[in-house]
């Protein structure tokens, strides 16, 4: 049996205060995701800004890999059809995580983004996000 140990505390997933997560104090998570998707649409070419908006660990306030991803992927941004990411995040909470999947969805406007995690995930359905 695989035990799902929380090695990645939620607090470590992002330290950016520019994101809109504070809205969850007033609105449902689904509503906040919808608002973020609209904002993300206006930033979709800027992977670092998307990482901050979605509080992934990949942006300028995290390990900063978005600069390297963008360097290699920017030219193919509009032609990518599928993205598969290993590691959904959110610890062992089945309803948490998916931040970087949402970042990739905004960055690749024609792609469906699939995620796989060692922890069981039951994220509510969202457009162009696929589960594994
Ligand atoms: C740092 S978090 C991912 C953060 C996420 N990509 C983001 O930016 O929001 C790492 C995730 O990888 C998952 N993980 C660790 N080992 C794994 C494995 N062998 N197979 C699949 N997922 C794994 C953990 O459960 C955790 O959710």
- Strand ranges, E, within 7-119: 82-86, 112-116
Q: Is the CB of 94 under 6 A from ligand 1?
A: no
The pLDDT tens digits of the residues spanning 27-78 come to 888 898 899 999 999 999 999 999 999 999 899 889 999 999 999 999 999 9
> How many alpha carbons lie under 13 Å from residue 55 in its C-beta half-sphere?
21
Ligand 1 atom closest to 56 (CA): 8
User: Does the residue 42 lie in any domain?
Assistant: yes
pLDDT tens digits, one per residue of 49-60: 999 999 998 998
65 CB neighbour count, 10 Å cutoff: 15
Q: In terms of residue numbers, what domain contains 110? A: 17-130
As for how many domains the chain has, the answer is 1
In a domain, 1, yes or no: no
- Does 81 map to a domain? yes
Indicate the top mutation candidate among 59, 117, 121, 131 to test ligand 1's pocket, ranked by most ligand atoms within 8 A of CB.
117
Domain membership of residue 9 (yes or no) is no
The answer to whether residue 119 sits within a structural domain is: yes
Return the CATH number at 88.
3.40.50.150
Q: pLDDT tens digit string along 82-130?
A: 999 999 999 999 999 999 999 999 999 999 999 999 999 999 999 999 8
Q: Does a structural domain hold residue 6? A: no
Q: Is residue 12 part of a domain?
A: no
Minimum-distance ligand 1 atom for the alpha carbon of 119: 25
Instruction: Please list the residues that pair with 83 across neighbouring strands.
Output: 113
The answer to whether residue 88 sits within a structural domain is yes
Q: What is the pTM of this model?
A: 0.85
């Amino acid at each position: 049996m695989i035990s799902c140990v929380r090695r990645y505390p939620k607090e470590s997933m992002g330290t950016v205060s520019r994101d809109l997560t504070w809205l969850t104090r007033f609105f449902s998570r689904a509503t906040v995701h919808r608002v973020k998707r609209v904002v993300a649409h206006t930033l979709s070419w800027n992977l670092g800004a998307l990482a901050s908006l979605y509080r992934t660990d990949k942006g300028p306030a995290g390990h900063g890999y978005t600069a390297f991803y963008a360097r290699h992927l920017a030219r193919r941004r509009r032609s990518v059809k599928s993205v598969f990411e290993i590691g959904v995040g959110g610890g062992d909470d089945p309803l948490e995580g998916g931040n970087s999947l949402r970042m990739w969805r905004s960055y690749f406007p024609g792609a469906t983004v699939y995620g796989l995690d060692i922890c069981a995930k039951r994220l509510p359905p969202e457009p162009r996000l696929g589960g594994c």
